[in-house]
Amino acid sequence: MRKFTNFYCLVNHPEQKEAIYIDDFNYELPDERIAKYPLSKRDSSRLLLYRDGVVSESVFSNLAQYLPQNCLLVCNNTRVIQARLVFHKQTGARIEVFCLEPLIPSDYALSLSATGGCEWKCLIGNLKKWKEGALQQKILFDEKEVTFSAELLETEENTHRIRFSWDADELSFSEILMQIGELPIPPYLHRKTEETDKKTYQTVYSKIEGSVAAPTAGLHFTPEVFSSLKSKNIEIEELTLHVGAGTFQPVKSATINQHTMHTETIAVPLNTIKHIQSKIGNIIAVGTTSVRTLESLYYIGKNLLYLPDENITDFRVDQWEPYETTEDIPVEKSLQNIIDYLEKHELDTLHAETQILIQPGFQFRVINGMITNFHQPKSTLLLLVSAFVDGNWRTIYDYALSNGFRFLSYGDSSLLLKG
C-alpha cells in the first residue's frame, strides 16, 4: 500500500502564481446585517438568484422552480458535534477545550464511538492556566457518577493533542459530548450557544457526526422544499465533508498565495459517484463544502490515471493542485477512474482529505451551479464565489447589501448558476 501522491505534475509554486490580493475581496459588513438568529421557518429565507450577470430574488421555498430541469442536487450530510468542552480547575480557572479532529482512532465514526478513551487535536482556551496535571469533571449518567478527564500530551503550533478518558466503558465519546459538550456556533454571532441552536444549527438531513461548523447553505431546506424538488423530478445525492474550524480562519496574508488552506476529510459513496458521473453538466452543489468535495473528485480521479494498480492508503488533494501544469482529462474519465478503483478494491465509499483552494482562475469541472449563503469579507469562501461567477461577486453582494439580505451562517442564501 502507498500514500496517494501527485507524481506527474510540473508544479508552479505558489509564489510564482499571479498574486491575488485579499484586500480586493473586502466589503463593509455592518454588524446589524449579520443574522444573529435563524428565521422561525427555515425556507422563508430570501433567495438571491444570479445567472448570466442578472440578479433577481425570490424566497427559498420557491427553489425548485429556479433549478434547471434534470439537475442533480448534491448535499453535505455532516452533523455538527458538541465539540466545545469546559473544565474548571480547583482554583476556579476556566479551561475550554475545543475538539477539532480525531487522532486515535483517526476515523471520525470510530473515535466518536470509542469507549473508555480517545485522542483528539484540539484548541485550548486559557492555556496559561493549565500548567500541569489532568483536567477532570464529574458527569451524572442515569444516576451513575462518571469521571471524565482531559490530559495534554503535546503541542504543535497552536493546536494540542489531548487524551480524553472516562471510567465507564459502556459510554461512547459521542455520548459524553452530547451530555457535557457545547455546540460551537460561529464566533461572529457574538453570543453564547442557546438550547435552540442544537436544532437550528443542524440541517434537517444531517446524519454523519464530525463537523465543528454547519454547512450553512443546507440550513434553509425543509421537508416541504424536498417535496417540491421531488415533484419537479429533481434528484438528490448526499456526500460528507466534516467542516473544520479553519472555515472561520481569516486570510491574514496580503496575497492568497501566502495563505495556508485548512484540510478537511471527505467521504463520497460509490453509488453517489456513479450518479454524479451520469449527471455531469447538471450538478448543483448545496454549499461551498459540497463544491470543494465535488471538485476534489476530479483531481483524485486524475491522479488515479497514473496509479491504476496501487492500493492507496491516503487520498489527498493539495491546496495548489488545481493550478499545476498538467494535461487535462475528461471529468467523466476521472470519475470512472475512482469508480474502477473502488470496485477493484471492493470499497463502497471513497475516503479522502482535501486542502483544495478555489480562487479566481479555477476551472470548475464538476458543478454547474451552487446554493450558498453570503460570506465574510476577505474569506476563502468569498474567493470561491468570485471564481464561480467570473469575478462578479460585487454585483451580487452590492445587491444583497442594498436590499436588506441577512448575512453569514443564519442569513439568507443565493442560487448561482452557470450559463
When mean pLDDT is compared across 11-15, 307-311, 316-320, 408-412, the lowest value belongs to: 11-15
What is the largest distance, in Å, between two alpha-carbon atoms of the chain? 63
- Across the range 210-227, mean pLDDT stands at 96
- Across the range 387-405, mean pLDDT stands at 97
- Across the range 181-186, mean pLDDT stands at 93
> How far is residue 72 CA from its own chain's centroid?
20
343 pLDDT more than 50: yes
d(CA 207, CA 79): 6
Q: How many CB atoms lie within 10 A of CB 23?
A: 10
- Across the range 371-375, mean pLDDT stands at 98
Q: List, for residues 105-127, the tens digit of each pLDDT value.
A: 999 999 999 999 999 999 999 88
Conformational region of residue 116, where left means phi above 0, alpha means psi within -120 to 50, and beta covers everything else: left
Q: How many CB atoms lie within 10 A of CB 138?
A: 9
- 3-state secondary structure at position 131: coil
When mean pLDDT is compared across 3-7, 42-46, 236-240, the lowest value belongs to: 3-7
- Across the range 359-368, mean pLDDT stands at 96
Q: In this predicted structure, what is the pLDDT of residue 151?
A: 95
Q: Identify whether the C-beta of residue 240 lies closer than 8 Å to the C-beta of residue 76.
A: yes
Q: In this predicted structure, what is the pLDDT of residue 31?
A: 95
Delineate the domains of the chain, giving CATH numbers in brackets: 2-79+200-417 (3.40.1780.10), 83-182 (no CATH)
Query: What element of type H or E holds 388?
Result: helix 380-388
User: Read out DSSP for 27-48?
Assistant: ----GGGB-SS--SSGGGSEEE
Question: Sorting pLDDT into bands at 50, 70 and 90, what band is 381?
Answer: very high
- 3-state secondary structure at position 129: helix
d(CA 398, CA 105): 46
- Across the range 378-386, mean pLDDT stands at 96
How long a stretch of residues is the chain? 419
* Bridge-based pairing state of the strands 54-59 and 46-51: antiparallel
Sole residue written with cell 500500500: 1
166 pLDDT more than 90: yes
d(CA 41, CA 416): 23
- Across the range 251-261, mean pLDDT stands at 90
Query: What element of type H or E holds 153?
Result: strand 144-156
Scanning 139-232, the segments in alpha helix (DSSP H) are 173-180, 197-200, 223-231
Q: In this predicted structure, what is the pLDDT of residue 10?
A: 35
Q: In this predicted structure, what is the pLDDT of residue 249?
A: 73
11 pLDDT more than 60: no
Question: Sorting pLDDT into bands at 50, 70 and 90, what band is 17?
Answer: low
Residue 15 has which C-alpha cell? 509564489
